[in-house]
Amino acid sequence: MTDGTAACGSGPGTRRVLLAVHTGRSDIVQLARSAAARLTAAGIVVRLLDDEAEAMAVPGAEVCAFGPAASDGVEIVLVFGGDGTFLRAAELARNTDAAITGVNLGRVGFLAETEPEAVEEMLTAVENCEYEVEERLTLDAVVLDADGVPTGAETWALNEVSVEKVERSRVLDVVLEVDGHPLTSFGCDGILCATPTGSTAYAFSAGGPVVWPDVEALLLVPTNAHALFARPLVTSPTSVLTVAVPPDGTRARVSADGRRIIEVPDGGRVEVRRSDRPVRIARVNPTSFGDRLVAKFGLPVRGFRDARSHGPGHEAPTTRVNVLTGDVNTSDGVLRTPEEVRRGHEDGAA
């Protein structure tokens, strides 16, 4: 991890920020325009992607094509959108030293950590270089043919590499290997090879574990496996995960972060390993991952001694009284003494 001062650099050169914006929503465009105006006023050059520049209409902004060169000379990529927009921006930043941070304008949004009401604080942090940069583990995936020869098709992922069936009506039979050793085989809809960052994405929906993003590990999560043993696995970050598909014509493909698709030949295999090129994510808030997990999913954090349940999604009011003293939270949410409960309260609550 590096701090913002190191990320900004020590030279007097021009600072540049690339904006990646979900232009399909007018409220997001308006917020991004406001951010661009403030950054420009602070002497920071704003760069836009050519397919977003017309909708953004930012005076004096640089415009570039979508591609690896878009982040050349850029200090940070600011994302305005959901995790899909963030993953798109990661394609631009990964080949340079640019860091990424985002404003969550989607749904859950684990990648984009700043909420819309905190945009001004985020911009202040960027202007003053008051942020830290985390390097997030990514994956490389290589496709091999039935003879074990690389086909030349390869990709990478920040969240997950999914080896999945193409035909909805078929079951995909797979053989799983870890570090060249066969582990198990079964029929399924697919296999997810995920990073800790991706553990709160597709792998989470498939029943995988939540892994803190600073943990170095690889995840292997089956999706809808027809097997007695199909548990999610957590392996060493240096492991090579292999998914082999049969030569019987059941078609499979690789989907990387849901954005890049590669076909797998009959009888082929997919090897997934840790990439030597991470994605750099700028953290402008001191909030821990655990706190974000609680906030994103609305997790209950009160112990049973502090609250009694009134049904799913409802917690009784907390009190300063220890429940072991005998006071009772009644059905109307009011704390009453055992004596009041025994004789019945005048309002009928019990």
Three-state DSSP class for 345?
coil
Which one from 27, 50, 83, 257 is the annotated catalytic residue?
83
Q: What are phi and psi of 195, to 5 degrees?
A: -95, 165
How many C-beta atoms lie closer than 10 Å to residue 290's C-beta? 12
* Cα–Cα distance measured from residue 269 to residue 148, given in angstroms and rounded to the nearest whole number: 8
* Cα–Cα distance measured from residue 32 to residue 234, given in angstroms and rounded to the nearest whole number: 39
Pairing of strands 181-188, 150-157: unpaired
The binding site for NAD(+) comprises 83-84, 88, 159-160, 170, 189, 200-205
Q: What are phi and psi of 304, to 5 degrees?
A: -65, -20
How many C-beta atoms lie closer than 10 Å to residue 215's C-beta? 13
DSSP 130-189: --EEEEEP-EEEEEE-TTS-EEEEEEEESSEEEEEESSTTS-EEEEEEETTEEEEEEEES
Handedness of CA 27, 33, 38, 39 (dihedral sign): positive
Is 83 catalytic? The answer is yes
The binding site comprises 83-84, 88, 159-160, 170, 189, 200-205
Q: Which residues are catalytic?
A: 83
